[in-house]
Structure 1
Amino acid sequence: MINHILVATDGSDKAREAVTMAANLAKALGTRLTILHVILHGLRAEEASHLAEAEHLVRRVSVVAIPRFERVPGSMSELFRASQGDIGQMVSVLGDRIADDAAQYARSIGANNVETRVEPGDYAETILAVAEELGADMIVVGSRGLGRLKGMLVGSVSQKIIQHAPCSVTVVR
């Protein structure tokens, strides 16, 4: 029986599909849903600019992170440059926004018992640790679509989760 679903999101389109699936399952089964966003330690500005593919987050994040900013940045890269080196704060605010937006979306689908978490760490290890801590019965993640060679060399987050999860895993393709 599934009582608690954990879904990981990074704000990408594939992650939104994972949230959709998890929210629909949570609604149908009447289960708890926890939405997790993992912030990678030591994230560089270039990597952070790819954190969320949805540029609409720029306006919402810049209002919180840079309240006295006179002109709203037009892209993630511009937003990170405007943060004047405080990438940690910017990534934290962005992570909160990604998780909150996903929770709002899950509730709009009909999932009633939705919580959010934003945690630092390695993606796969943190997702697995949170699943174990919560006693999750299912983890839902999106696939990243790594190339065949790159996937064999470094492995993907979803592959690591499948191999080590203490519960069922659904990978949305």
Structure 2
Amino acid sequence: MSFHYRNIVVAIDGSEEADRAFKKSLPIAKRNDATLIITHVLDDRYGVVTAYAPGIIDEVEIRAKELLEKYEVEAKQAGIDNVVTFLSHGSPKVKIAKEVAPKFDADLIICGATGLSAVERILIGSVSEHIIRFAQCDVLVVRQDEH
């Protein structure tokens, strides 16, 4: 009996670790003939900034859409036939596991391990840790390469 993934969510945020996670998602999606859902969640915890610089959220959203488009093109060039991009606002650690994955009936989430300090992990927890804890599907956390 063989199992294959049908809907794979890969979380991207512009970081090197997220890029590494995206690159790992390509052969997995191709091998499984899966739909690759590339998602970026704009963290809205910093809403106070927009009160002082109203246009900044528009600029951040434009950059996020450009990032998603770049990854979509790269996925299609890698031979992934079914690619979906999804931009959302909110807390990435909550949205990815509890909203994005269920919305797309994901059976695998791929994300990068975060570079939070030990203190930050104790206080707020990492995005990947939260995804592992609350996702209703398999999760692959891609770690930074050792140098």
Q: TM over 0.5, yes or no?
A: yes
Amino acid at match of 1:14: E
**Is it true that 1:5 corresponds to 2:8 in the alignment?**
yes
Cα deviation, residue 42, structure 1 = 4.8
* Partner in structure 2 of residue 101 of structure 1: 70
* Partner in structure 1 of residue 42 of structure 2: 39
More strand by share: 2
Where in structure 1 are there 5+ consecutive unaligned residues?
A: 47-83
* Partner in structure 2 of residue 150 of structure 1: 120
Cα deviation, residue 85, structure 1 = 4.2
* Partner in structure 1 of residue 17 of structure 2: 14
Cα deviation, residue 44, structure 1 = 6.2
* Partner in structure 1 of residue 130 of structure 2: 160
Cα deviation, residue 43, structure 1 = 3.3
Pick aligned residue for 2:60 from 81, 84, 91: 91
TM-score when normalising by structure 2? 0.85
How many residue pairs match? The answer is 137
1: CA distance, partners of 2:67 / 2:113: 18
Pick aligned residue for 1:130 from 100, 111, 119: 100
Cα deviation, residue 45, structure 1 = 9.5
2: CA distance, partners of 1:96 / 1:132: 22
* 1:153–1:45 Cα change, 3 Å: closer
TM-score when normalising by structure 1? 0.73
Cα deviation, residue 3, structure 1 = 0.5
Cα deviation, residue 105, structure 1 = 1.6
Quick check: 1:24–1:110 contact (8 Å CA) kept in 2? no
* 1:93–1:116 Cα change, 3 Å: same
Q: Which moved more, 1:158-167 or 1:126-135?
A: 126-135
Secondary structure, in 3 states, of the residue corresponding to 1:145? coil
1: CA distance, partners of 2:60 / 2:83: 22
CA RMSD of aligned residues (A): 1.9
* Partner in structure 2 of residue 70 of structure 1: none
* 1:45–1:106 Cα change, 3 Å: farther
Secondary structure, in 3 states, of the residue corresponding to 2:9? strand
Q: Which runs of 4+ in 1 moved over 4 A?
A: none
**Is it true that 1:112 corresponds to 2:81 in the alignment?**
yes
Determine which structure has more spread, i.e. the larger CA radius of gyration: 1
